[in-house]
């Protein structure tokens, strides 16, 4: 038995947020509290009974206006493991994509007596709008190119786990590169906010068309080639090239993108031996990441998926409590 | 605040509790696990384990299993549950610092059962202060007390607290958002 962990966020800290819309609006203390809570949930999936009764009798709604398999499944399973009932309301139809209607839809669902709405939408700002319109707790599962907070949180958790920092969740001294289509990526934005708040240095790497210079205002180093930063980074987060969001010709060819920005075994040889390789999935094998790297010992990709469950359980648990305390 | 037992007396109570448990442990040929309830029962469990040398040790956090989650406002802090052994077919000694209503004990029992099917569970507690609201009875008790209903009994142990002691004090009239272990 290890010595009991010192409680750094004792009774004086109480989680205050009934909604999680983005990591931009959370403090470092808030983020660390979620990650510590997630640490307590991590073992639930290894038990004989993979359920805890924390949200027994509560209702969580998945309100997805954009196709999603893994995030939706992860939220579904997270809510189930907290013993909540889960209602799945998904629609890809364009008639539901207008602002007014989204609120109406949410209010209708809320009227059925739900406690937490998990929302994904292709437009930035929809989760915030819903949070202001409804009485129940709202969790952002990704809005446009704005934020994907639970993905950011699970990335932070995975980095802390791989670098042995789950006692403090302090990422000071780490250099993290986010590579690829930064412009269209909500994952990148949530990662930038979260990483900087926990003390890490963030490098952004991508072609100028997908990484405009305006990102320097985030306080990140901006690089348009990958090779010069390889030796420096402790963690590399390879973003998916989102063909569905790229409208103009952002780069000359897939082959050229792969040769300049792809994470290949050749590039791996130049990186730190214990560099952590991450990817939010789904991966385009051979484009942003080579199969041998994605499946290699440095890859934390499946660990990210596992941690996603614990992090989402923590978020659902915390927002529900804060909502109830209001 | 009144100190009922100081560092030396707490040490004697733990040693006496260990003696009571030792006999029961020797009577079974199956392996034993000593499991403490966070965040003070686990310290007592650790001390018992040092002298009793069970096959396994562990700790449980009951935050997610409380029966008053919706009533207490902000969610209690979730800590790590450490059960790194197969729960099936072991004898478990569950250890807590104080038992009052029995509600945290009920929650702890449910956590244990969610890990498997132990052969048996015995319950050891440093202080039984009475006031049960559930049919829960400890098998081994260090100290039995009968304080007034509005008094709170707390066991303080290093390293969770600054000293080893048992104290009694008048309960605050307003209920805190993070109830003490004895309230749970």
Considering only residues 119 to 148 of chain B, which have any Cβ-Cβ distance to chain A shorter than 8 Å?
none
Is residue A26 a contact partner of residue A190, using CB atoms and an 8 Å limit? Answer: no
Query: Domain limits of chain A?
Result: 19-144+306-325, 149-300
Q: What DSSP string runs through A146-194?
A: TB-HHHHHHHHHHHHHHTT-TTT---TT-EEEEES--TT-HHHHHHHHH
B179 pLDDT higher than 60: no
Fold adopted by A149-300: Rossmann fold (3.40.50)
Q: How confident is the model at residue A252 (pLDDT cuts 50, 70, 90)?
A: confident
What is the ipTM metric for this complex? 0.72
Range of the domain at B16: 10-68+77-146
Write the CATH number for B123: 3.40.50.2020
pLDDT of B47 reads 96
pLDDT of B79 reads 87
Q: Do B113 and A318 lie within an 8 Å CB cutoff?
A: no
Do the domain assignments include residue B85?
Answer: yes
pLDDT of A5 reads 41
Of A306-320, B120-134, B158-172, the least confident? B158-172
Average pLDDT of chain A, as a whole number = 90
Choose the closest CB to B114 out of A1, A6, A49: A49
Q: Do A325 and B77 lie within an 8 Å CB cutoff?
A: no
What would the mean pLDDT of A265-281 be, rounded to a whole number? 96
What would the mean pLDDT of A219-231 be, rounded to a whole number? 96
**pLDDT one-digit tens code per residue, B21-70:** 999 999 988 999 999 998 899 999 999 999 999 999 999 999 888 887 76
A94 pLDDT higher than 70: no
**pLDDT one-digit tens code per residue, A127-142:** 999 999 999 999 999 9
Round to whole Å and give the CA distance between A48 and B87. Answer: 9
A3 pLDDT higher than 60: no
With beta carbons under 8 A apart, name residues in chain B contacting A324.
70, 73
pLDDT of A27 reads 97
Residue B178 near chain A (CB below 8 Å) = yes
Q: What are the φ/ψ torsions at residue A28 (nearest 5 degrees)?
A: -60, -40
Q: Convert A72-104 to b/e letters by CB count within 10 Å (16 or more is b).
A: bebbbbbbbbbebebbebeeeeeeebeeeebbe
Is residue A178 a contact partner of residue A237, using CB atoms and an 8 Å limit? Answer: yes
Q: How confident is the model at residue A43 (pLDDT cuts 50, 70, 90)?
A: confident
For residue A313, CA distances in Å to A81, A187, A223, A307, B174 come to 8, 19, 36, 10, 31
pLDDT of B144 reads 96
pLDDT of B143 reads 96
pLDDT of B173 reads 56
Average pLDDT of chain B, as a whole number = 89
Q: Do B87 and A6 lie within an 8 Å CB cutoff?
A: no
Choose the closest CB to B78 out of A10, A37, A320: A37
Choose the closest CB to A40 out of B46, B80, B115: B80
pLDDT of B5 reads 94
**pLDDT one-digit tens code per residue, B2-15:** 999 999 999 999 99
Q: How confident is the model at residue A248 (pLDDT cuts 50, 70, 90)?
A: low
pLDDT of B72 reads 58
Give the pairing of strands B91-99 and B32-37.
Answer: parallel
Percentage of chain A exceeding pLDDT 90: 72
Q: Supply angle C-alpha A97, A100, A106, rounded to 5.
A: 80
**pLDDT one-digit tens code per residue, B49-60:** 999 999 999 999
Choose the closest CB to B39 out of A7, A39, A321: A7
Do the domain assignments include residue B105?
Answer: yes
Within a 10 A sphere around the Cβ of A132, how many other Cβ atoms?
10
A48 pLDDT higher than 90: no
> B40 to chain A: nearest residue by CA?
A4
The answer to whether A19-144+306-325 and A149-300 have equal CATH topology is yes
pLDDT of B102 reads 95
Do the domain assignments include residue B119?
Answer: yes
What would the mean pLDDT of A66-85 be, rounded to a whole number? 94
Is residue A51 a contact partner of residue A83, using CB atoms and an 8 Å limit? Answer: yes
Q: How confident is the model at residue A100 (pLDDT cuts 50, 70, 90)?
A: low
Tally the domains of chain B: 1
Nearest alpha-carbon partner for A131 in A112, A152, A110: A110
Of A267-276, B113-122, B124-133, B172-181, the least confident? B172-181
Round to whole Å and give the CA distance between B98 and B142. Answer: 10
Is residue A169 a contact partner of residue A143, using CB atoms and an 8 Å limit? Answer: no
Do the domain assignments include residue B123?
Answer: yes
Q: Do A4 and B38 lie within an 8 Å CB cutoff?
A: yes
pLDDT of B76 reads 81
Q: Under CATH, to which class is A19-144+306-325 assigned? A: alpha beta
Residue B159 near chain A (CB below 8 Å) = yes
What would the mean pLDDT of A234-251 be, rounded to a whole number? 82
Do the domain assignments include residue B167?
Answer: no
pLDDT of A113 reads 92
B109 pLDDT higher than 50: yes
């Amino acid at each position: 038995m290890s010595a009991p962990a010192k409680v750094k966020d004792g009774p004086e800290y109480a989680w205050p947020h009934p909604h999680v819309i983005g990591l931009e609006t959370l403090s470092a203390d808030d983020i660390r509290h979620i990650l510590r809570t997630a640490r307590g949930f991590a073992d639930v999936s290894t038990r004989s009974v993979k359920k805890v009764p924390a949200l027994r009798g509560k209702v969580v709604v998945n309100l997805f206006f954009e196709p999603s398999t893994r995030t939706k499944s992860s939220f579904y399973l997270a809510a189930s493991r907290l013993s909540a009932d889960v209602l799945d309301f998904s629609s890809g139809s364009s008639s539901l994509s207008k602002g007014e209607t989204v609120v109406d839809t949410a209010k209708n669902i809320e009227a059925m007596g739900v406690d937490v709405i998990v929302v994904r939408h292709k437009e930035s700002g929809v989760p915030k709008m819903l949070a202001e319109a409804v009485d129940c707790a709202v969790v952002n599962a990704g809005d446009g190119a704005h934020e994907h907070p639970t993905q950011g949180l699970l990335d932070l958790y995975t980095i802390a786990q791989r670098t042995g920092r789950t006692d403090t969740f302090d990422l000071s001294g780490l250099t993290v590169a986010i590579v690829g289509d930064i412009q269209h990526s909500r994952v990148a934005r949530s990662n930038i906010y979260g990483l900087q708040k926990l003390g890490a240095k963030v490098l952004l790497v991508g072609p100028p068309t997908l990484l405009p210079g305006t990102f320097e205002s985030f306080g990140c180093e901006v690089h348009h080639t990958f090779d010069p930063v390889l030796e420096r980074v402790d963690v590399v987060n390879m973003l998916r090239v989102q063909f569905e969001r790229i409208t103009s010709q952002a780069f000359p060819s897939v082959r050229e993108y792969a040769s300049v920005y792809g994470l290949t075994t050749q590039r791996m040889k130049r990186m730190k031996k214990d560099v952590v390789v991450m990817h939010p999935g789904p991966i385009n094998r051979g484009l942003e990441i080579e199969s041998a790297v994605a499946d290699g010992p440095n890859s934390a990709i499946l660990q990210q998926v596992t941690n996603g469950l614990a992090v989402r359980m923590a978020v659902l648990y915390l927002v529900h409590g804060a909502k109830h305390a209001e | 605040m009144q100190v009922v037992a100081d560092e030396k007396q707490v040490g004697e109570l733990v040693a006496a509790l260990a003696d009571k448990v030792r006999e029961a442990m020797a009577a079974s040929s199956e392996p034993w696990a000593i499991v403490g309830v966070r965040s003070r029962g686990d310290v007592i469990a650790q001390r018992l384990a040092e002298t009793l040398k069970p096959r396994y040790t562990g700790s449980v956090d009951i935050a997610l299993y409380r029966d008053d989650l919706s009533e207490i406002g902000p969610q209690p802090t979730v800590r790590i549950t450490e059960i790194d052994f197969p729960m099936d077919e072991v004898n478990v000694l569950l250890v807590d610092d104080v038992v009052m209503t029995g509600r945290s004990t009920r929650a702890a029992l449910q956590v244990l059962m969610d890990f498997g099917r132990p052969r048996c569970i015995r319950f050891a507690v440093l202080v039984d202060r009475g006031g049960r609201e559930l049919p829960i009875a400890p098998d081994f008790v260090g100290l039995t007390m009968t304080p007034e209903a509005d008094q709170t009994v707390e066991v303080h142990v290093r390293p969770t607290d600054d000293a080893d002691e048992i104290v009694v004090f008048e309960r605050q009239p307003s209920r805190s958002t993070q109830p003490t272990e004895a309230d749970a």
